[in-house]
Homo-oligomer: A and B are copies of this chain.
Amino acid sequence: MARPKPISGFPEFLPAGRLVETRVLDVITATFELHGFTPIETRAVEPLTQLARKGEIDKEIYVVRRLHAPSSEADELGLHFDLTVPFARYVLENAGHLAFPFRRYQVQKVWRGERPQEGRYREFTQADIDIVGQDVLAAHHDVEIPLVALDVFGKLHRDLGLPPVNVRVNNRKLSEGFYRGLGIEEPAVVLQCVDKYEKIGPEAVTELLTKAGLTAAQAAKCVALAGISSEDESFVEQVRALGVEHELLDAGLEELAALVRVARASEPGRVAADLKIARGLDYYTGTVYETLLAGSEKLGSVASGGRYDSLASDGKSTFPGVGYSFGITRILAPLIGRGVLTASRAVPSAVLVAVDNEETREEAIAIARRLRARGIACEVAPRADKYGRQIRYAERRGIPFVWFGAASVKDIRTGEQVDADADAWMPPENDRHPRVVTA
């Protein structure tokens, strides 16, 4: 076959890039587990009737159908486009077997048939956490969730050199209460206009709002609200100064202030209340989160989420939840693609065990077994060859050590060769595994 070409929107990494991705996912899932989230995985397909009820996203759904299915057979299944809809279904299906509040994480591919462009993919990996209650879920979980996200991003920055992030938070109760306090009856319409604030600016939003039927005074107040942000609780006073009153506004202000206060105590300077944050999805009912990667702000939010009070219901119980979704591909594909992140080597092996001649291959295999028994990744040279060639073979792969004969190991970077016991020798910690390195 001719050399195949990539398919646009379906990114794949070379081995070094995939090594970076696995290390990033290891940090993320280990941190999720430290916070008590348990792993689940759902099938890739959902009934089309479940997927296709959300409106705007319908046109992006991929239908799945057996190649030889009779043409009379109706399409029934589609690939999931996020992990929230499948999770809501999983909770309903298994509610009798789950302990609530149920804390889960889920790392899977999702598929959206949208036009591929920078930061937009047709297949991409998401890592989600959610906490879901049965009938009730306390507001303090809205504070907890972004702290988990900050713990994750803090470790990715500290341990793997990813850029730091800033989390921006708003609360739909706050916005909706404010709009209702102004006498506006369709707060959803205002939210859609405010959602464009960052892109089109305050004047254009004012224009949209007056076109949508708001008075000049109402529009001015809404735009003033959207302009408020603060890293501490001072946003509350700024909102109060606008003179609007509504009990939903009070509830929203209180929730958001608690979030900012607790987050500031544990991760100062990383979380800001930002009252223009709207988030597209309909199902959010309270707190909403966005995350910007320092230096890649133009990518938009790389991790986002919020509170949803009625996404899942079986008629008897509702299952309110709050969650955060990390766009793994969206974060990593540009950084790996531009070479900002790579691996110290593209293979796990720390040691190449040289083979003198094919008669001694079994001895080399035995040395490799002894090294592996102590957690040292290694491979046996594929060809019995001159030592110089075996060293060049290791060099091309970035393997730092070559083992010779029964008891000798060479650091091929320094040329230093020492006597060594395959049951005792250890490579330096830094060389044991491929590391994520930043350019």
- A-side interface residues toward B, CB under 8 Å? 1-7, 10-15, 18-19, 21-22, 33-45, 47-48, 50, 52, 58-69, 77-79, 89-90, 92-95, 97-99, 101, 103-104, 109, 111, 113, 123, 133, 138, 140-141, 144, 147, 151, 262, 265-266, 312-315, 346-349, 358, 361-362, 365, 369, 372, 375-380, 382-383, 396-397, 433
Q: In the bound complex, do residue A63 and residue B64 qualify as a contact, i.e. CB atoms below 8 Å apart?
A: yes
Nearest neighbor of A101 in chain B, beta-carbon distance: B382
Q: In the bound complex, do residue B78 and residue A375 qualify as a contact, i.e. CB atoms below 8 Å apart?
A: no
- How near does chain B come to A15, taking the closest CB pair, in angstroms? 4
Nearest neighbor of A33 in chain B, beta-carbon distance: B348
**What's the Cα separation between A11 and B45 when bound, in Å?**
11
Residues of B within 8 A of A433 (CB): 33
Of the candidates B44, B59, B377, the one whose C-beta lies within 8 Å of that of A36 is B377
- How near does chain B come to A30, taking the closest CB pair, in angstroms? 9
Given known contacts A12-B42, A45-B123, A383-B138, A314 and B3 CB-to-CB distance under 8 angstroms: yes
Given known contacts A89-B4, A93-B5, A138-B383, A79 and B103 CB-to-CB distance under 8 angstroms: no
Of the candidates B5, B40, B67, B379, the one whose C-beta lies within 8 Å of that of A59 is B67
Residues of B within 8 A of A377 (CB): 33-36
**What's the Cα separation between A262 and B95 when bound, in Å?**
51
Query: How many copies, total?
Result: 2
Q: In the bound complex, do residue A14 and residue B97 qualify as a contact, i.e. CB atoms below 8 Å apart?
A: yes
Q: In the bound complex, do residue B67 and residue A61 qualify as a contact, i.e. CB atoms below 8 Å apart?
A: yes
Nearest neighbor of A17 in chain B, beta-carbon distance: B40
Nearest neighbor of A31 in chain B, beta-carbon distance: B372
Task: Give the 5 A-B residue pairs with the shortest CB-CB distance, closest first.
Answer: A36-B379, A33-B348, A66-B113, A36-B349, A10-B43
Sample 22 A-B pairs with CB under 8 A, ordered by A number: A1-B92, A2-B315, A12-B40, A15-B38, A15-B40, A18-B39, A19-B39, A33-B433, A34-B378, A35-B378, A44-B111, A60-B66, A60-B67, A61-B67, A62-B65, A65-B65, A67-B78, A67-B113, A103-B379, A151-B372, A262-B362, A262-B365
Q: In the bound complex, do residue A64 and residue B67 qualify as a contact, i.e. CB atoms below 8 Å apart?
A: no
Q: In the bound complex, do residue B66 and residue A39 qualify as a contact, i.e. CB atoms below 8 Å apart?
A: no
Residues of B within 8 A of A376 (CB): 34
Residues of B within 8 A of A109 (CB): 44
**What's the Cα separation between A106 and B13 when bound, in Å?**
12
- How near does chain B come to A228, taking the closest CB pair, in angstroms? 25
Beyond A48-B67, A138-B383, A144-B380, list 8 extra A-B contacts (CB 8 Å): A4-B47, A7-B47, A12-B42, A14-B94, A38-B346, A52-B67, A60-B66, A266-B365
Q: In the bound complex, do residue B38 and residue A3 qualify as a contact, i.e. CB atoms below 8 Å apart?
A: no
Q: In the bound complex, do residue A92 and residue B4 qualify as a contact, i.e. CB atoms below 8 Å apart?
A: yes
**What's the Cα separation between A147 and B312 when bound, in Å?**
48
Nearest neighbor of A374 in chain B, beta-carbon distance: B34
- How near does chain B come to A335, taking the closest CB pair, in angstroms? 17
**What's the Cα separation between A327 and B334 when bound, in Å?**
33
**What's the Cα separation between A6 and B93 when bound, in Å?**
8
Of the candidates B11, B37, B50, B349, the one whose C-beta lies within 8 Å of that of A348 is B37
- How near does chain B come to A155, taking the closest CB pair, in angstroms? 11
Q: In the bound complex, do residue B2 and residue A379 qualify as a contact, i.e. CB atoms below 8 Å apart?
A: no
**What's the Cα separation between A312 and B1 when bound, in Å?**
8
- How near does chain B come to A413, taking the closest CB pair, in angstroms? 17
**What's the Cα separation between A61 and B64 when bound, in Å?**
10
Residues of B within 8 A of A94 (CB): 14
